[in-house]
Amino acid sequence: MANEDTNKKKISFQVIFPFLGLILILLLFSILTGGKLFSASSLKSTMNDGIYILLGTIGFTLLSAMGQMDFSIGFNMGVSCAVCCLVANAVSIYASIPAAIATGLVIGCVNGVIVTKTRISPMIATMGMMFILQGGVLVILNGSVLQAPLTMMSLYTTPLKILLLAGGIVLGFVLLEKTKYGRISKAIGASPETVRQTGINANKYKLITYIIVGGICGILGFVSLARTGSATNSTGGTLLFNCMNATLLGGVPLTGGPTTKFRGALLGALTISFLVTGMTLMRISAQNQQLIKGIIFLIAVGICFDRKNLKVIK
């Protein structure tokens, strides 16, 4: 009985910790920077970087819910951005938007097919895809930087950013918390075998999720091009690490299952975004920023990691 109580307390703290982490960071940096953290320019900067982190983390969380993983999201974004740039130059900037999304969707679909049909571990399959895309982006860009028409940057407007952020949050929440898809995703994460025995086609759900994540990468590829006006071989290079970091900071279990909550993705993405902005405002050196991020990451993972769902290694 006493044991059960302790466990409950621990779980509660795990749930509260991401909230506390975000609150602490907001409070700390708003005081230390004299309120600059919430200035218009600071919020704009946070939002611009936050789009990548938030949308990417939402995708990563959808996969995490079913115990899946996609290491190729960064380079999927890079390839989508490169294709987007090619189409923007060759056809029109408006045609480049569906081109980017379609590229992301196709890559996501290939990932899904490999994982579900060949039964290769998602980690290995998507890592392989990552290498392919890394080479692919070099081939598409001829190893160089490709510049989009200057009008491309006129698409990167505040309403678009708000639409993407709000749309991402609403769709992500509804998908994961309010639909059959979300419930089955978590069930797959908890026990794929049980789901299979109930007659649900788990592979179909996995495939759909990889395609959704691919689509998100395609959108991010377009966003990157509209923001910077160029596609480079380094586009999307930091996406994977940031999303993984945000997912774990939000207390989302990588093993999946019913403890996966959408709020975790949101809290983790916000925490990372404000942490980076806050440290920059504080003029903390690059080396110390890395150090701080690493320490916070370890503490967060130590507290939030869902050990309950870890499978016993035989």
- CA separation for the pair 4, 46 (Å, rounded): 41
By beta-carbon proximity to other proteins, the closer residue of 34 and 199 is: 34
* Min CB(178)–other proteins separation in Å: 21
Distances (CA, A) of 208 to 99, 175, 204, 215, 282: 19, 12, 6, 10, 42
By beta-carbon proximity to other proteins, the closer residue of 23 and 163 is: 23
Listing DSSP states for the chain in one string gives: -HHHHHHHHHHHHHHHHHHHHHHHHHHHHHHHTTTGGGSHHHHHHHHHHHHHHHHHHHHHHHHHHTT---TTHHHHHHHHHHHHHHHHHHT-HHHHHHHHHHHHHHHHHHHHHHHHHH---HHHHHHHHHHHHHHHHHHHTTTS-EEPPGGGGGG--HHHHHHHHHHHHHHHHIIIIISHHHHHHHHHHH-HHHHHHTT--HHHHHHHHHHHHHHHHHHHHHHHHHHHSEE-TTTTTTHHHHHHHHHHHTT--TT-STT--HHHHHHHHHHHHHHHHHHHHTT--HHHHHHHHHHHHHHHHHHH--GGGPPPP-
* Min CB(140)–other proteins separation in Å: 12
Contacts with other proteins by CB under 8 A lie at 12, 16, 19-20, 23, 26-27, 30-31, 33-39, 41-42, 44-45, 48-49, 141-148, 150, 153, 224, 227-230, 232-235, 237-238, 276-277, 280-281, 283, 285-287, 289
By beta-carbon proximity to other proteins, the closer residue of 63 and 281 is: 281
* Min CB(304)–other proteins separation in Å: 16
* Min CB(147)–other proteins separation in Å: 5
By beta-carbon proximity to other proteins, the closer residue of 63 and 73 is: 73
By beta-carbon proximity to other proteins, the closer residue of 191 and 289 is: 289
By beta-carbon proximity to other proteins, the closer residue of 192 and 229 is: 229
* Min CB(1)–other proteins separation in Å: 20
By beta-carbon proximity to other proteins, the closer residue of 161 and 206 is: 161
Q: State which amino acid sits at residue 298.
A: L
* Min CB(289)–other proteins separation in Å: 6
* Min CB(30)–other proteins separation in Å: 4
